[in-house]
Amino acid sequence: MKEAASAVRCTALAQGSNYIEGGDVKIYRLILFVLAASAFLFGQFARADSSWLNDYKKAQEEAKAANKFLLLNFTGSDWCGWCIKFDREVLSQPQFKDYARDNLVLVELDFPRRKLQSAEVKKQNLELAQQYEVLGFPTIVVLNSDGQKLWHFDGYFPGGPEAFIAQLEKLRKG
Greatest Cα-to-Cα distance within the chain, rounded to the nearest angstrom: 84
| Strand residue runs (E) in 9-76 | 69-75
pLDDT digits (tens, 9 = 90+) for 27-78: 756 565 555 545 444 443 344 347 999 999 999 999 999 999 999 999 999 9
> For position 11, what pLDDT does the model report?
42
The answer to whether the beta carbons of residues 96 and 164 sit under 8 Å apart is yes
72: Cβ contacts below 8 Å, ≥ 6 apart: 56, 107, 109, 128, 132, 140, 141, 142, 143
pTM: 0.72
Query: Residue 69's closest CA among 79, 59, 77, 83?
Result: 59
pLDDT digits (tens, 9 = 90+) for 65-81: 999 999 999 999 999 99
